[in-house]
A and B are shown apart, each in its own frame.
Chain A
Amino acid sequence: KQEVTQIPAALSVPEGENLVLNCSFTDSAIYNLQWFRQDPGKGLTSLLLIQSSQREQTSGRLNASLDKSSGRSTLYIAASQPGDSATYLCAVKRNTGTASKLTFGTGTRLQVTL
């Protein structure tokens, strides 16, 4: 059974700092890994998707890496801003095609202070 763990559970940083969020998974037989953002009481917004054959993906100030063999992914946020405050979730997909469910971690709650 796939288990996804995210560390830390919560993080508070001052504005402008660079930060790293961690995600680990127990079964390396994944098809892809996604990072999502969730604002309080809201749905999920996809940030980055990394295919199992890729090592990293970048979008603006966000960079996600994937080390499938070790079962780890990181989300790097550069020059953090108060608007980055949210919960960040990683999710892995085992099989190809949309018939396969996503398995989520419990998230890292990020607060960026002024």
Chain B
Amino acid sequence: DAGVTQSPTHLIKTRGQQVTLRCSPKSGHDTVSWYQQALGQGPQFIFQYYEEEERQRGNFPDRFSGHQFPNYSSELNVNALLLGDSALYLCASSLTGTNVLTFGAGSRLTVL
């Protein structure tokens, strides 16, 4: 049973560029959440998607946007990249109404 799959695992961008990160949830899960984890910090909630809509959002600017597809997979887009966007981006999936989150291994973004 495949868990949460994220791609790419690592990527390097320059300031001002745009990036798209992808997440395939665990089989049977319908909700996807995205978190940003800066080096040495705990993960920070970005947003959550359910039924292809953003259901909840953390304290992140509009440069961060997302999408959920009918097959429950999700994308995180970040525009106008800043050096401070360098982080590990974690995707977590769950089945709505349950408490258990399954995390992916993350996508490590470096902005130069």
A interface vs B, CB < 8 Å? 4, 31-32, 36, 41-46, 49, 89, 91, 93, 97-107
Contact = CB atoms under 8 A, between A and B. Distances in A.
Contact of A43 (B33, B50, B104): B104
B48 A41 contact: no
12 contacts: A43-B103, A43-B104, A46-B101, A46-B103, A49-B100, A98-B98, A99-B55, A102-B101, A104-B42, A104-B43, A106-B40, A106-B42
Interface residues of B, number: 32
B48 A101 contact: yes
A41 B100 CA distance: 22
Given A46-B102, A104-B44, 7 more contacts: A4-B42, A49-B100, A98-B31, A98-B99, A99-B55, A100-B56, A101-B56
A1 to B, nearest CB: 9
